Structure 1
């Protein structure tokens, strides 16, 4: 299972004045992605013994309708990590990881 997250959900990056999103306050997006990251970690721990992998992927700033096509990555490139995580082999990362 793969949750599509974002670096704006990182509490560490939210406090980093050198991060590209530092000056942007988007309460809905930042808080929902931070919550998604926390849920991903907790479910990954819970489901590990059942052999279910749960990861979160950050596709980067994709060029989509939702950002008025101001993204820096074409959608196929942004989707690469999501697809890679969705087809992990049984011996892939056993716990949540973000990319």
Structure 2
């Protein structure tokens, strides 16, 4: 699965460190916690395979890699349901 920010969605980080995704189509702004912010940062850098994203999250955060993988997949699923990340078929 290849992930990318949806059309009309922009990534913003303020000078105070607050990280947000703004959906210009719906007008909704999402304030992100640390985990969601790291996922959004990676995806905003360019189309990313899900397995690559999980690997990068395991490097960014200490902990059980299986749990980090589950959390990452849950966040990605939520982002897709919200329409702020798109997924297309591809090698995972």
Question: TM-score under structure 2 normalisation?
Answer: 0.29
- The structure where strand makes up a greater share of residues is 2
Rg larger for: 1
Question: TM-score under structure 1 normalisation?
Answer: 0.28
